[in-house]
Structure 1
Amino acid sequence: MRRGESSSKKVVTKEEWEKNLREVKIWKEDMNRLVMNFLVTEGYVDAVKKFLHESGTQPDVDIGTIFDRLDLRNAVECGHVEDAIEKVNHLNPEILDTNPQLYFHLQQLGLIELIRAGKVEEALEFAQEKLAPSGKDNVCQFFVFVTNYGDTCAFGGAGTHYGSHGF
């Protein structure tokens, strides 16, 4: 929206919102899938097994991979990019080839970690050799990333944007 233009969004009052919520039919199967997804995502293996037994709701993933998925998430959250890439390839060897955005985001994380560590020269080399080639398939995301993080590297503000990278 440009300056001086009014918003065309309808403002919904609390009463209207609550009325709409009461009228929405949520199917038990949908709620069960939502609960199962949460349990799997958070790694509650015992709860997944019990919920599967009680509700009959199948998880979308093999229960045996939940701990591997938690290890992968932990590697990403800790900024261990190479470890995360190895774990992704172990879980699904084709995913980085078929999902270039995932690979690009992991490379972004690698660059952010180098910047946070104050390794500016290494970060620039990494950006040229790894991030730029994977950015060719993600031009818009690459532009946004460079716009948001270029100043971090250029002006020594390592880590100032960490955690708000949007992926």
Structure 2
Amino acid sequence: MDLHRRVQSQTSSTSTATPSKHAFETRVADVKSPKSDINALILDYLMMEGYPKAAEKFQKEANLKPRQEDPTINARQQIQHAIHVGDIQKAISDLNELDPGILDSDPHLHFSLLRLQLIELIRNARGYDPSAAINFAQEKLAPRAASNEQFLKELEKTMALLIFPADKLQPDLAALLHSDLRRNTAAQVNEVVLQRHTERREAAIRQLVRMRAWAEASCRSKKRNLPDRIELGLNGDDNGHDPMVTT
């Protein structure tokens, strides 16, 4: 009986024992990033991604010093919103109004927007007369594709949407109708505008995340002693850190 109780006691204590922290996690827990630095990163993200109202509200709540006004932030927000809802003509018009030379200086961006506009025409023409989409492709995209092999491949792929039913599309064609393409194109436009007007393409936090991923991959390739999984700490993970978003 005593032996049985002893085994039960050992089993219970083993199952409830808190696992010891990896040495790396202990070192990380000792490093506390100032909330002011984290808040500055968040504000930078909101400004760079084109969220003026959220940036203004966060700036007040976090008691941050006013940043230099970005004259493009409202226009960038409107352009991205137009792309997200599929109004590509408005996005192109607003983009030209913001920066008249931007599309002429970036043929790839211009073609991406025109192709997305063609996709929206095809989407709206399903089950109806596709002549508007065909005419648009002939007038706006075909001349550009004639002298660029990559443009030609993308145009041919897009026109295939007119041939196959929506439920019979191969994954690479179905991806053209997915909202991710709108989102990626909007991000591409935002980056180009930022680079032309601020000499930066993206928010600082994106660079930090890539740097962190590179550092981890580099250490693992050199067989450094790391935990099997390293959390980013964005949601208050069980690593002793506060959530990244703080006010």
Normalised by the length of structure 1, the TM-score is 0.64
Shift of 1:102: 1.6
Residue ranges of structure 1 left out of the alignment (5+ in a row):
1-17
Taking only aligned residues, the RMSD between alpha carbons, in angstroms, comes to 3.9
Is 137-146 or 80-89 further displaced after alignment? 137-146
The aligned counterpart of 1:98 is: 105
Q: Distance in 2 between matches of 1:150 and 1:45?
A: 40
The aligned counterpart of 1:11 is: none
Cα 1:38–1:135, aligned 2, differ >3 Å: closer, same or farther?
farther
The aligned counterpart of 1:124 is: 134
Cα 1:141–1:66, aligned 2, differ >3 Å: closer, same or farther?
same
Query: 1:8-157 to 2 correspondence within 5 Å?
Result: 34-40=41-47, 41=49, 42-43=51-52, 44-47=54-57, 50=60, 54=64, 62=70, 64-118=71-125, 119-136=129-146, 138-147=148-157, 149-157=158-166
Shift of 1:97: 1.0
Residue ranges of structure 2 left out of the alignment (5+ in a row):
1-23, 168-172, 186-247
Q: Distance in 2 between matches of 1:142 and 1:85?
A: 21
Q: Deviations over 1:79-114 (max 9, x none)?
A: 112211111012111101111112111101110111
SS in 1 for 2:117: helix
Cα 1:32–1:117, aligned 2, differ >3 Å: closer, same or farther?
same
| Equivalent residues, number | 146
Q: Distance in 1 between matches of 2:40 and 2:113?
A: 28
Normalised by the length of structure 2, the TM-score is 0.46
Shift of 1:125: 1.2
Q: Output the amino acid matched with 1:151.
A: A
Identity %: 30
Q: Is the 8 A contact 2:144 2:151 kept in 1?
A: no
Shift of 1:50: 4.7
Q: Which is higher, the Rg of structure 1 or of structure 2? A: 2
Cα 1:86–1:144, aligned 2, differ >3 Å: closer, same or farther?
closer
The aligned counterpart of 2:216 is: none
Q: Is the 8 A contact 1:72 1:88 kept in 2?
A: yes
Shift of 1:128: 1.0
Q: Deviations over 1:24-74 (max 9, x none)?
A: xxx99x977753442111332314755998368x56x71x43222211111
